[in-house]
Structure 1
Amino acid sequence: MPHKAAFHQALVDLTAQIAGRPLDSELQDWLNQTHGPDSAAYAGLKAACLVGVEEGWLCDREGGGVRYGRVFKADDALHRFSVDVVDMQDIAGPHHSHPLGEIDLIMPLTAGATFDGHPAGWCVYPPASAHRPTVAQGRALVLYLLPEGQILFTR
């Protein structure tokens, strides 16, 4: 799968830039300034996600109206981040917490679609945060980077 391998390499390059940084608003600002919606990196990641969905190796599961899938487990090449991608349209997903934080890349497929109120770009949740991920005003793909792959779904 050459597309999947290229996607992995793009994420290796990205995670190298964020490894060891605190997951906070400063990182969110830096990601939006450096790799925001007008950047080549953003365009490349979005294009790769669209290809992955089309080829069936992204968002290959469905539950509760959300298409999702973990494409890469946390490993050393990815600087201990796992990679998940979801496809959501006007829906709130299951409530969960992020023991070590979460970095989200928001890629609207409908103009003006938001994720947790955020437009296209990056959103960073700090360690011990929690939310019910919500896409509103249309459809979006959201890429999640989870340190050590840690996520805890609320029962």
Structure 2
Amino acid sequence: MSTPQDLIDASIPFLNELKNRTAGEDLEKWLNDAYGPGSEFYERVAGLVKDGVRDGWAANIEVDGPRYRRSRLAEPCEELNYFSITAVYMDSVEPYRGQYHQHPYGELNMVVPLNEGAELAGPRGWCGGGWTAPDPASHHYPEVRGGAIIALFYLPAGRISYDITPPAE
């Protein structure tokens, strides 16, 4: 049985490589090329976070009922190059929006679909598996369609803000 520490330990070499990079379009492309589906890192960490959701130690706190849950697995610390690690589970066949938020320092978001065709909206379109890397100061609704996904995100300094007002629609 896997544990949160297994996921944290698997993330350390990855975060060592990323510690001096900035979220955005270039990093998103690089992450998908170097660490996307099929890579050893992606498959290992995706398996661990799936285990965590199944076993109740990841994405286990309801935000909007059982279809939208999250949990912080690790606080920023020196060992993680001051990144936090959070898991989010979202499940909806129809497009579903989560909680509007801002990323003061950006976000590195590993998208793990649990159903064929499940996708998460990223800053550059829908992502069915792989990475999104919203820029620093970006803000958005997390949005899922086509089934269930897990978003495992790494936040520089653990910074995320839910006290931002969404734009008028």
What TM-score comes out, normalization by structure 1 length? 0.95
Q: Which residue of 1 aligns with 2:137?
A: 128
Structure 2: where are the runs of 5+ without partners? none
Q: Which residue of 2 aligns with 1:85?
A: 87
Within 1, Cα distance between the matches of 2:97 and 2:2?
33
Q: Which residue of 2 aligns with 1:102?
A: 107
| Mapped pair 1:39 → 2:39 | yes
Q: Which residue of 2 aligns with 1:152?
A: 161
Within 2, Cα distance between the matches of 1:60 and 1:112?
23
Within 2, Cα distance between the matches of 1:135 and 1:27?
22
Q: Which residue of 2 aligns with 1:73?
A: 75
Shift of 1:147: 0.7
Letter paired with 2:56: G
**Higher strand fraction: Structure 1 or Structure 2?**
1
Name which of structure 1's ranges 20-29 and 93-102 shifts more when overlaid on structure 2.
20-29
Kindly indicate whether the alpha-carbon contact (under 8 Å) linking 2:109 and 2:133 is maintained by their aligned counterparts in 1.
Answer: yes
Within 1, Cα distance between the matches of 2:140 and 2:110?
16
Identity value in percent? 31
Letter paired with 1:32: N
Shift of 1:55: 2.3
Shift of 1:61: 0.4
Letter paired with 2:3: H
Within 2, Cα distance between the matches of 1:113 and 1:28?
19
Q: Which residue of 2 aligns with 1:21?
A: 21
Change (3 A) 1:110 1:128: same
Q: Which residue of 1 aligns with 2:53?
A: 53
RMSD of Structure 2 on Structure 1 (CA): 1.3
The total of aligned residue pairs comes to 155
Letter paired with 1:87: Y
Letter paired with 1:140: I
Within 1, Cα distance between the matches of 2:34 and 2:153?
18
Kindly indicate whether the alpha-carbon contact (under 8 Å) linking 2:102 and 2:161 is maintained by their aligned counterparts in 1.
Answer: yes
For the residue of structure 1 that corresponds to 2:8, the secondary structure is: helix
| Superposition pairs of residues 7-18 of structure 1, within 5 angstroms | 7-18=7-18
Q: Which residue of 2 aligns with 1:64?
A: 64
